[in-house]
Amino acid sequence: MSDKHQTPENTKGENTKEVKAFFEKWDTYRKAMDNDYAGHIEAYKALGDFLKTNIDKPFSIFDLGCGNAEFMAQSLKNTLIQRYEAVDISESVLELAEKNMSHLNCEKYFFPGDFINVIHNRETSFDVIWIGLSFHHLSYRQKEKLLERCSSLLTKGGYFIIFDPVSYDNETLENFRKRWWNTCHLYWNALTHEEKLSIKEHVDSADFPESLSTYKGIGGKYGFSEVESVFIDPTEIYQIIYFQKT
Ligand SMILES: C[S@@+](CC[C@H](N)C(=O)[O-])C[C@H]1O[C@@H](n2cnc3c(N)ncnc32)[C@H](O)[C@@H]1O
């Protein structure tokens, strides 16, 4: 996709300090997950179904920004997972991930740090690279660079998969954020008003979603023959999109 998508709105790049501080208040995020406000339950079920249907040999997965990996542990049950690797910028959250993954019978590795640095320094190949609810924190250029790097690390036919807020075609960032806030404000009622406002502040400063058409354009540029959505939550904010390497 051409640089016309690189608007001043999404050139800023991730403020990792802000993002780290926000997710270290894990309880608020956890309430949103447990109440399925981002479609976590169905999304991670869709991921499990995707892995079972599309991968018929032992596989490896790299989980970027794994959080507590609670839902990922469910998705990987009854799949042919052979090696699970995960990275998160928050060490406290990474400890939870290790606990939640303890029952999974495969090789496991956990790395603290910024996934952009970690992935640029890795040489090991992966069959799947997954990024759940973090890709939208990156600028347009950072997203492109990460896709390019993942394309070179993935095995032939492998998948880069995102679970992320996705904007409509031609939707401005401002309109996307308004649409997100309408949903949060009206429906995320297990959260207090202050908790909603704290998430809003995070979204207003750190969220830069793109549209499926934009992802198809970037994917084509970096060797992904197929870019499709396999899950859309009922509020039409969150989607799972896979990029298959040619
Ligand atoms: C919204 S949570 C998602 C957790 C999990 N992937 C999920 O789907 O539930 C985002 C996680 O990504 C981590 N994160 C955000 N930016 C990161 C970065 N640049 N490097 C490593 N971890 C990052 C945060 O610390 C947080 O744990």
Atom of ligand 1 nearest to the CA of 63: 6
pLDDT at 170: 93
pLDDT at 5: 41
Cα–Cα separations (whole angstroms), residue 78 to 64, 96, 99, 104: 21, 22, 19, 10
Ligand 1 centroid to residue 114 C-alpha, Å: 9
Point out the ligand 1 atom lying closest to the alpha carbon of residue 29.
Answer: 1
CB 185 within 8 A of CB 157: no
Is there an atom of ligand 1 within 6 Å of 89 CB? yes
140-153 vs 212-221: helix crossing angle, rounded to 10: 50
Ligand 1 contacts CB of residue 130 (under 6 A): no
In ligand 1, the atom with minimum distance to the C-alpha of 138 is 19
Q: Is 133 exposed, middle or buried (0-12, 13-18, 19+ CB in 10 A)?
A: buried
Query: Which spans in the chain are helix H?
Result: 16-24, 26-34, 40-54, 70-75, 91-100, 115-121, 140-153, 173-187, 193-206, 212-221
Question: What atom of ligand 1 comes closest to residue 70's alpha carbon?
Answer: 9
Query: Is the CB of residue 142 below 6 angstroms from any atom belonging to ligand 1?
Result: no
- Predicted local confidence at residue 33, as pLDDT: 86
Tokens linked to 46: 């869709």
pTM of the model: 0.92
Look at ligand 1, atom 19, and give the residue with the nearest C-alpha. Answer: 114
120: tokens are: 């640029």
Domain boundaries, the chain: 3-245
User: For residue 36, how far is its CA from the centre of ligand 1 (angstroms)?
Assistant: 17
CA-closest residue to ligand 1 atom 8? 132
Residues of the chain with pLDDT under 70: 1-13, 20, 22-25
Structure tokens at 153: 């690390």
Query: What pLDDT does 52 receive?
Result: 98
CB 133 less than 6 A from any atom of ligand 1: yes
CA-based nearest residue to 180, from 193, 196, 195: 196
- Give the model confidence (pLDDT) of 135-180 as tens digits: 999 999 999 999 999 999 999 999 999 999 999 999 999 999 999 9
Say which CATH topology domain 3-245 has. Answer: Rossmann fold (3.40.50)
